[in-house]
Amino acid sequence: MRRLSALLLLASILMVTFSLVTSAQAGDPTGSRIPGDTLHGQKVAIDMGWMLIMGSIVWFMQLGFAFLGAGVLRSKNQVNYWTKSYIDFSIGVVVFMMVGFALMFGGSKLYPGLEQGNQVIGWSGFLLAGDAYDVSTLAFFFWQAVFAATSVTIVAGMVAERLKFTAYMAYTVLVNMVMYPIYGHWVWGGGWLATLPFGVGVRDFAGSGVVHALGGFTGLAAALLLGPRIGKYDGDGKPRVFPGHNIPYAVAGTFILFFGWFAFNGGSTLAATDLRTSVIMVNTYLAGGAGATAMALLTYAKYRRADTLLICNGALGGLVAVTASCAYIAPWAAVVIGLVAGPIVWAGNWLVEWKFKIDDPVGAFGVHGVCGAFGLIAVGIFADGTYGGVEGLILGKTGQIVAQLIDAGVVISFSFAMGLLIFAAIKYTIGLRVGMEEELSGLDIGEHGYSAYPEYVIAQAQPEEVLKNDEED
């Protein structure tokens, strides 16, 4: 960690120097160049306010992720999980400001200070200095920073109950600095995927791929390298269930996330004056509702009871799946997407847990990884041509589905490969996993020195007892 801190300090100094040398004039940090007494100036002010308010709601989704994950994890790991949920966006916004934002949007020319870059990578806007020190650029940065935080926090649940806190901080730095911005540039920063000669190029309206699939497949790589939690699989390789300590937490977290998704998708117009927002929000609601409904019916058919946690995951799967297409489809298509998303959440998590023996404690891979990839493909199937010129298979157009399939293949391979690289580098430097005794007693005491429930002591099995039970199995 000392070497990593030194490298980050050096990078900061270099970026400051670069910004001071290359930026002869600043942007518009007061908004004085925007004529407030004109219709254009009023529109700019309204749209900036829209981005800032919607971005604040998206930031609040971090609490939803924290509640959801904490609810399905055990009581002995609560302090650790809540701390990771807090530190990732805290570190992330600083690193994204320093480096990631420039790599992601440099060359896009979307806002002042983002002129330099090509179809592979951007290189302007470092530290929000120079021309990027502008009211409109900073509003856009705020919006994008909360999205970056969402992608990073997906991994927290997939590696829960065994990943070192220092390893998680290192991962947060590397993903916000390099991995998320590079792929994001290809899709949202005017990169090569956005300009593919199929359809209108890749379209991922609010991030089924950029945010969710990237987080899901990165987490899959991390969970693979970490290995399952102690005692997760018996001697026959059958997974054991570790009951969550607070189901109301998980349901409350899902409520918060569902609410935040209206801003996540609706705010991605970047303009309160874009009337398509009503279609986007309705499609978001329908897909989430359909996903939950599908899972309720499936669990009742299989178990003769409705499984609350699976219903929550079904809702989230529907929301993830419609995130890429919500602006381009009719309401009926949103329902279809949600109904498909519910079952594939279940299938994806079953495949990972039972066949690949990868331990994902919160079931995030089925929700974010599988449904994120499906969401990209859904654009090429259901887009009806009424927004942005995006036309799918329902109109007899094949170009868009080609672009979307290419994007799905890229995000899966890029995220998984980079996830393996990043977590392998951490594993062989500062280490990934806590020791056996610490894992069995809980990460709260070992990593933080106190418990979330100090007055409620739960007897934990000692290492010898767990190993003995595994041998007996």
Rounded CA gap, 189 and 212, in Å? 17
Identify the helix (H) or strand (E) that includes residue 393.
none
Per-residue pLDDT tens over the stretch 356-382: 999 999 999 999 999 999 999 999 999
Eight-state DSSP code of residue 157: H
- Indicate if the pLDDT at residue 82 is higher than 70: yes
For the chain, what is the total number of helices (H) and then of strands (E)? 18, 0
What mean pLDDT comes out for the span 417-430?
Answer: 96
Per-residue pLDDT tens over the stretch 129-166: 999 999 999 999 999 999 999 999 999 999 999 999 99
Q: Backbone phi, then psi, for 16, in 5-degree steps?
A: -60, -45
Share of the chain above pLDDT 90, in %: 86
Q: What is the DSSP string of 363-375?
A: -HIIIIIIHHHHH
pLDDT confidence bin for 28, thresholds 50/70/90: confident
Res 292: pLDDT: 98
Is there a contact between 208 and 321 (Cβ–Cβ < 8 Å)?
Answer: yes
Domain boundaries 13-467, corresponding CATH code? 1.10.3430.10
Per-residue pLDDT tens over the stretch 109-131: 999 999 999 999 999 999 999 99
Per-residue pLDDT tens over the stretch 291-345: 999 999 999 999 999 999 999 999 999 999 999 999 999 999 999 999 999 999 9
Res 24: pLDDT: 47
Res 30: pLDDT: 76
Tell me the three state secondary structure of residue 122.
Answer: strand
What mean pLDDT comes out for the span 177-190?
Answer: 97
Res 317: pLDDT: 98
Res 7: pLDDT: 56
* 173, amino acid identity: V
Tokens 């499609």 appear where?
283
- Indicate if the pLDDT at residue 91 is higher than 90: yes
